[in-house]
Structure 1
Amino acid sequence: MFERILRLVDEVPEIDRFLGVDDLLSGINAVAERHSDCASVRRIGTSRLGEPLWSLTVEGGRKQAVVFAAVHPNEPVGGQTSLHLARTLAADPALRAELGHTWHIIPCIDPDGTRLNEGWFEPPLTMRRYGRNFYRPAGREQVEWSFPLAYKGVFFDAVIPETVALMRLFDELKPDFMCSLHNAEYGGVYYYADSTTPELSRALAAIPAHLGLPLQTGENEEPYMRELAPGIYLGLSARQNIDYLESIGVDHTDYEAGDSSMSYVERYGTRYLVSEVPYWTSEDSCDTTPLDVSYAAVLRERAKELMEADLVLSGLLASVQNDLTARSPYRRALNAFLPGLAKQSRIASAAADTPGADRAAVVSERFHSAEVLQSVRMRLGGMLLSTLDGELAVGNGTPAIRAAHAELTGVFDRWADLAEAEVPATAIPIRKLVATQFGAILASVATPR
């Protein structure tokens, strides 16, 4: 079966851009119309702004599989992957029969947020264009992190409509398999799973290798991640995050989001895969060569730079706070994320003081620290500019708003220059990212666990 999966991976066509919401929905409707004998589209919910949420069902067996994309709306690779998966399954009855699942494919679970990112979906993909057109919701408004939570004094039940739609689907289907499609910015390919086997681990490593992409073997996305195999980690939960913060003495009571889809489906014994593929890659991201600087020093430098970014961005937002009038999602995101900069700085400082941090850092750890900083600057700087753009667009050009916009434009341009100079990276062809996620889904379903 795995050789067949690799052949299917090789058949993924070239892709020149990311698809927006309308194109994704047109795509699944076309699949349903062309393959009406096995495929149909149904509405599963409504977005916060009133847009219908659609799922394509492809009949294929007794077991149920749910695949969904745009759980974070700045991560559009999964939309393309879900559409390619739908087309492939609908056109290949032998493959559906061999996999033995009926598929429920949601190409865009957050259309409201995805539309705010469409400004960077056309090539060329650069960090400057990405940041200037970037939107990511506040944690409590993210589909992936707004499932119910009650743990160690943290309570969350402000479940957003998009997450309610997924919960209803999970409760109805009690799926045998779930896949949440994600993207990272830099580095290599990695996965979260409920479990793995030697056969599945080999397959998940072999697919990106077949496409010339590295596995992520540098510093982890989160310090509390538990490795199951190289590039494969146990699925994340809010509980893990809270436990980690408690263990390093950082207050967790201000945790303002919910739990993950991975945690939610545990009640049904669902096998799951979360695939993370990067937009850009760099040899430094996987380089374990020791440096002549300690890991503690790298962490302290990260802490210092994050605090400096916080002072700039928080100061500019404070200078216009009384003049802002629009009920902007950018503004809500900034109010949620900006306090996190100081917290990230404290976490990095605390980690620098832990036993063993005085060892030599490796190249990938320095690269990770640099890309975290550049990503924060581009993301939050871009969203603050979009907040100010919106005020100017409705005629609210107060002296404070105009001054902040002018200052931040200069700051953002300098940060973009630094991002492109200090974190040299190459944009990965979209086809390879889609092919990696597509192959990983097939391998996860086809391999017994």
Structure 2
Amino acid sequence: MDRYPAVAEVTESARLLVSRFPGTVRLRRIGASRAGRPILMLSVGHGPRHVLVVAGPHPDEPVSGATALTLAERIARGDRLSAATDPALVTWDIVLCLDPDGAALSSNSGSTLKSYYRSAFRPVASEQPEWAPIVSHPLPESRALFQLIDGLRPFLQCSLHSTDVGGSWVQLTRDLPELAEPFRTSADELGIPLQYGTYDALYWENPSPAVYVLPPPDGTGRPAAGPENIGLSTWCAPLRYGGVTAIVEVPMWATDLAADTTPYPAADLALRELAELVLDGGRQVTAVLDKARGFLPPAQDDPLRRVLEWMADGLYDMVADSWKPLARQAAAAAHPDDPRHLTTAQVSALNIVARRQPVRAAGLLLRLLETAEAPAAPGLHRELDELCTAWCTEFERALRVRWVPVRDQVEHQTRTVLAAAESALKTLR
């Protein structure tokens, strides 16, 4: 396996699995997207307990389709028989792609950061099925997933994610202590660094390396720049049935800085510089957007334009402002062992975010400029393409990134999901 399969390929492979394992593997439609695309689910086994696996929650995180197929085939074949994979005890329900509309706009092609950002698409928060319930914007994809959770009452939900640059980590709605060792062992065997510090979970409980526990719905801890009503998300829905959710992240490009726990010198200064980096990059993309607005398709008709306007309307500022408490904390650290010191891993995680946001916007705007017929479009495209090239080159240099083979991404995510299922099942006995 050397590339990410498209949704159509995942669907065709799922149908082949049904024909190869009749009775054991079933495929059914659980809903439809806003554009009418089917949302399909593979079920493996007939046990009374359920593991729910959700692939494709974010269309710019492409590993999940391959992981979904790998999980289904291994469980159907009985490769690693355990209580969690015993078809008489547990049914595995695997949603093949939660956001097929977004996937249709994201080819995730290429082996460089620039080619990736030029082809990837991630919708605004209110159009992301896992997050849309938080912002009171019901989507049919979200409703389908909520209905599935209410019907199955899974003891474990696994949401399959990947990150562009960094290491691997797991976010949980409740700690699974026995997950830590197999998760760490898998990463070590495959040469994938663990993410010791992530933008998504800077303030969360961290019971073991690269494992983070979501604050309770009524708690005060929040993601670094995340929504306040996270308790309403699909992640938290299994809690009402005693279940747990694991969000499993694997990197497309790895950086060993993600695992460097040494104190970062002058972290407060570094954070101020990173805040200016994201703000300056955002300003430059927005300046090109300002020149192109008159001939681009309107935001209500074009999802790429909607993302660009959403980012221009305060997202860069929100990201930069969210780091001010961390900068004050780092500045107040009094001695080398002061826990308020930030590590290299934590600063590198913010470095990734600071570079990601402007280049993500640049990739979207380049796609719009390529198809625009206005006389000014080619010149603006050249201007922005030069910026995008420089940013991606510096991104790769500053973080010292290396490509993680797709087969290794899939293997690590598959192993982690299986280990999470075994750990979660033991908590029920």
TM range (shorter): 0.7 to 0.9
Partner of 1:42: 28
Partner of 1:368: 349
Q: Tell me: CA distance 1:357–1:279, structure 2 relative to 1, closer, same or farther (3 Å).
A: farther
Distance between the aligned counterparts of 2:290 and 2:235, measured in 1?
37
What is the DSSP-based 3-state SS (H/G/I as helix, E as strand, rest coil) of the residue aligned with 1:182? strand
For the pair 1:387 / 2:364, whether they are aligned, the reply is: no
Partner of 1:319: 291
For the pair 1:267 / 2:240, whether they are aligned, the reply is: yes
CA-to-aligned-CA distance 1:122-178 (integer Å, 9 cap, x gap): xx521111111121010111122112x4xxxxxx32111211111111111111221
CA-to-aligned-CA distance 1:92-131 (integer Å, 9 cap, x gap): 29554278211111121111211222151xxx52111111
Residues 99, 446 of structure 1: 8 Å contact kept: no
For the pair 1:344 / 2:325, whether they are aligned, the reply is: no
More displaced stretch, 401-410 vs 165-174: 401-410
What is the DSSP-based 3-state SS (H/G/I as helix, E as strand, rest coil) of the residue aligned with 2:383? helix
Distance between the aligned counterparts of 1:342 and 1:258, measured in 2?
25
Counterpart pick for 2:98 among 109, 115, 134: 109
CA-to-aligned-CA distance 1:345-387 (integer Å, 9 cap, x gap): 2222343124655566543344333322221232111011122
Distance between the aligned counterparts of 1:403 and 1:182, measured in 2?
36
* Deviation of the 1:299 alpha carbon: 0.7
Distance between the aligned counterparts of 2:138 and 2:242, measured in 1?
22
Q: Tell me: CA distance 1:126–1:363, structure 2 relative to 1, closer, same or farther (3 Å).
A: same
Partner of 1:188: 167
Q: Tell me: CA distance 1:223–1:290, structure 2 relative to 1, closer, same or farther (3 Å).
A: closer
Partner of 1:64: 50
Alpha-carbon RMSD across the aligned residues, in angstroms, is 2.7
Q: Tell me: CA distance 1:230–1:119, structure 2 relative to 1, closer, same or farther (3 Å).
A: closer
Residues 45, 161 of structure 1: 8 Å contact kept: yes
For the pair 1:137 / 2:123, whether they are aligned, the reply is: yes
Q: Tell me: CA distance 1:203–1:373, structure 2 relative to 1, closer, same or farther (3 Å).
A: same
Percent of paired sites with the same residue: 28
Residues 139, 336 of structure 1: 8 Å contact kept: no
What is the DSSP-based 3-state SS (H/G/I as helix, E as strand, rest coil) of the residue aligned with 1:66? strand
Q: Tell me: CA distance 1:351–1:163, structure 2 relative to 1, closer, same or farther (3 Å).
A: same
Counterpart pick for 1:335 among 299, 305, 309: 309
Q: Tell me: CA distance 1:74–1:341, structure 2 relative to 1, closer, same or farther (3 Å).
A: same
What is the DSSP-based 3-state SS (H/G/I as helix, E as strand, rest coil) of the residue aligned with 2:14? helix
Letter aligned with residue 24 of structure 1: V
For the pair 1:397 / 2:374, whether they are aligned, the reply is: yes
Q: Tell me: CA distance 1:115–1:256, structure 2 relative to 1, closer, same or farther (3 Å).
A: farther
For the pair 1:406 / 2:382, whether they are aligned, the reply is: yes
Letter aligned with residue 274 of structure 2: R
Gaps of 5+ in 1: 1-14, 150-155
Counterpart pick for 1:289 among 239, 259, 262: 262
Distance between the aligned counterparts of 2:406 and 2:88, measured in 1?
26
Partner of 1:3: none
Q: Tell me: CA distance 1:381–1:52, structure 2 relative to 1, closer, same or farther (3 Å).
A: same
Partner of 1:9: none
For the pair 1:428 / 2:404, whether they are aligned, the reply is: yes
* Deviation of the 1:315 alpha carbon: 1.9
What is the DSSP-based 3-state SS (H/G/I as helix, E as strand, rest coil) of the residue aligned with 1:221? helix
* Deviation of the 1:402 alpha carbon: 4.2
* Deviation of the 1:257 alpha carbon: 9.3
Letter aligned with residue 309 of structure 2: N
Q: Tell me: CA distance 1:370–1:191, structure 2 relative to 1, closer, same or farther (3 Å).
A: same
Partner of 1:4: none
